[in-house]
Structure 1
């Protein structure tokens, strides 16, 4: 049992990719991740294309992706589609969650039709934002995923 638990810990410490084009929101999220004291490196990207380029260029497996929807170059839906349809990237099984203020039924339906693992609304207060980030991180730290097992 200990060997399995040891393997599960490896992926849980991968970087968290945050795709957010608002510098203030990036600053708030940086403060929250520091306060919550997760050891994961947080990588911020202002648009989906830069995040995609990074994911393609690295062998480091991200823990999860938190993506806004409305961004320049490559929006969140287009990025999700690319990750889902590219067999090399899809095999990485990176949890993909939307984290946006763009809450409407159409967006939520489109997100889940693209097999996202969650759609979270960015709250206006730091306390609520912290609760959401904590809930996301704790859920995925406890969740078994295909990448948890050695090849």
Structure 2
């Protein structure tokens, strides 16, 4: 298993803290870079020499929302190969369909119970750390 480089795009600091708490105890020890919104994430991704392995993305954010960010990401010849996984509280079918149309690699609902959240994030990390991912 590899140590993933993850770009976490999330504007809710409680969600960021919750995510970081899960990864602190995860055996793969991923390296996390945080962005508070899509605009900040795009600035981070400007550095093409240090791209993340995967992007975990919230949908409802200020400035550039998750869907707009995905469309920009997937229209870039280099960035389009980075798997983007949506982490959302929205079970709205329209959101789900639009995200898959934009080219996401997965859509994970954030459960309310912390134990369920931990299990989902750990499964997600285990899965992606086993994948063969395109390198820059």
Normalising by structure 2, we get a TM-score of 0.92
Contact 2:35-2:41 within 8 A present in 1 as well: yes
Structure 2 partner of 1:106 = 94
The reply on whether 1:17 has 2:3 as its aligned counterpart is: no
Counterpart pick for 2:38 among 39, 43, 48: 48
Structure 1 stretches (4+) deviating beyond 3 angstroms? none
Contact 2:86-2:108 within 8 A present in 1 as well: yes
User: Which structure 2 segments of 5+ residues have no match?
Assistant: none
Asked which structure has the greater CA Rg, the reply is 1
Deviation at 1:61, TM superposition (A): 2.5
Q: Secondary structure at the match of 1:145?
A: coil
Give CA deviations for 1:79-132 in whole Å, capped at 9, x if unaligned. Answer: 111111122322xx1110000112210000001111100000111122111111
Q: Secondary structure at the match of 1:39?
A: coil
The reply on whether 1:146 has 2:119 as its aligned counterpart is: no
The reply on whether 1:57 has 2:47 as its aligned counterpart is: yes
Normalising by structure 1, we get a TM-score of 0.83
Contact 2:37-2:64 within 8 A present in 1 as well: yes
As a proportion of its length, which structure holds more helix? 1
Determine the C-alpha separation between the residues in 2 that align with 1:14 and 1:35: 14
Determine the C-alpha separation between the residues in 2 that align with 1:127 and 1:24: 16
Q: Measured at CA, do residues 13 and 60 of structure 1 come closer, stay the same or move farther in structure 2, by a change above 3 Å?
A: farther
Structure 2 partner of 1:120 = 108
